[in-house]
Amino acid sequence: MAESYDVIIIGSGPGGYVAAIRASQLGLKTAIVEREHMGGICLNWGCIPTKALLRSAEVLDHANHFKDYGLVLDGTVKPDAKAVVGRSRAVSARLNAGVGFLMKKNKIDIIWGEATFTKPGEIVVGKSSKPVVEPQHPLPKNVKSEGTYTAKHIIIATGARPRALPGIEPDGKLIWTYFEALKPDALPKSLIVMGSGAIGIEFASFYRSMGVDVTVVEVMPTIMPVEDAEITAIARKQLEKRGLKIFTSAKVTKVEKGAGSITAHVETSDGKVQQITADRMISAVGVQGNIENLGLEALGVKTDRGCVVADGYGKTNVAGVYAIGDVAGPPMLAHKAEHEGVVCVEKIAGLPNVHPTDKGKVPGCTYCNPQVASVGLTEAKAKELGRDIRVGRFSFAANGKAIALGEDQGMVKVIFDKKTGELLGAHMVGAEVTELIQGFVVAMNLETTEEELMHTIFPHPTVSETMKEAVLDAYGRVLNA
């Protein structure tokens, strides 16, 4: 007979494993299905290892500007690609093992293999077609294997994978995805990055810090197109100051592969075509949900543009079938997946006052140098929606802590509803703004007004003071500019 659970989650990425833990906490018999590596893309090939690489790049950038801090350094500092990548993989391995520990601690069964729906409430798990690769050696102990499993509630948390453009498909050699970009055998001398979203611009920033000649090609008029245009203009200026070459309103129309190089034909907005040759290219043109081979068609589960359609509680159009995280559509962010997992499970468990996920309050963070972070509406979007707004800005150049850190290139921008004082959006560029943005996220969730923010005491000296000054600026009360 098929083994039965209250909840089965397909996929052990941030959304899946967090949902499993919360389900177990609520007394639900829980299992999680994984086919490749515990922790999913985020822990193994995405969020975590890229941040480890970027930390190495940050330290190297500081070392190369030691004189700016009154320091004397004997000898040279240069990157050791093998050691940098090794540190990144070690960080992933540590967290990968941690997910397995959390499953055991919370008495969650791990089913190893690939799941396919046979009918609502039932899956068959077959042998995984994916090889077990580092950092996961060996497989978690005491895992269950192939068989039929049933549950009243089954949550799809299968994540996403890199999208490929026809004719410019990654080959793992000359054209990389983030998989190859994370662990190069050696640093290329030159690199083309196709796409300037978070993935593309983070890798562009990292490789430039490592001394690589980097060219970014973006089809939209601005880099990081989902961000506020004023913020990305500042980021672009700083990235170009660091030596990045950036083409916007441009697209790669075709590529030609050589023995050890690749030539991209880049068409600009005026119709002219420029040929750019580099050792390697990274394809960072977005991701698409992993919805194939799950049996969704037979169940009649609705999908749209490669993702499962689900409501704010993770419910699909088929009873007992749910979807969370990247596979449930944008924004495709690990923290959104985690939150969706908790909301979905708490709704399943029947907890009172469970609020649906509000995608308008999901923060976005890009860990390039300089960092970019945001939450809520951009200025352009607020105007498009017909909102009557107040906009405040404050530059890092007028902040004592930023100047002391040698990180005075940045800005905080806030957008308020003029009539109600509602905080509609906050946007930042500069050092460690990915750590600062949560202050505005909390404010938005608490429905804080401008008056309450202006009466909040911020510690001095901190970079966070720029947040309050930006609010004051929106209302003509700025103090330090």
Distance in angstroms (rounded) separating the CA atoms of residues 326 and 13: 10
Determine the Cα–Cα distance for residues 65 and 26; give it in Å rounded to an integer: 52
Q: For the chain, how long is the longest CA-to-CA vector?
A: 72
Token pair in block for residue 107: 């008495």
Strand partners, 257: 262
State the alpha helices, DSSP H only, in 162-263. 178-182, 198-209, 229-241
For residue 70, give the 3-state DSSP assignment.
Answer: coil
Report the alpha-carbon distance of residue 268 to residue 275 in Å, rounded.
11
The strand pair at 147-156 and 321-323 is best described as parallel
For residues 176, 177, 180, 183, the Cα torsion angle rounded to the nearest 10 degrees is 120
Helix (H) or strand (E) holding 25: helix 14-25
Decide: 336 and 325 in contact? Cβ < 8 Å. yes
| E strand or H helix that includes residue 99 | helix 81-105
14 contact partners, CB below 8 Å, separation of at least 6: 39, 40, 42, 43, 47, 325, 334, 335, 337, 338, 341
> In sequence order, what are the beta bridge partners of 281?
175, 192
Which contiguous run of DSSP H or E holds residue 323?
Answer: strand 321-323
Q: Do residues 235 and 223 touch, judged by C-beta distance below 8 A?
A: yes
366, 372 Cβ separation under 8 angstroms:
yes
Q: One of 153, 265, 427, 460 is an active-site residue; which one?
A: 460
CA gap 392, 420 in Å, rounded: 16
Whether 153 is catalytic is no
- Location of structure tokens 């959104």: 336
For residue 55, with 0-12 CB atoms within 10 Å meaning exposed, 13-18 middle and 19 or more buried, which class applies?
A: middle
Single out the residue of 106, 22, 11, 32 nearest to residue 343, CA to CA: 22
Pairing of strands 280-283, 190-194: parallel
Q: What is the dihedral sign for C-alpha 427, 206, 282, 267? A: positive
Q: Give the separation between CA 96 and CA 103, rounded to whole angstroms.
A: 11
Catalytic machinery residues: 460
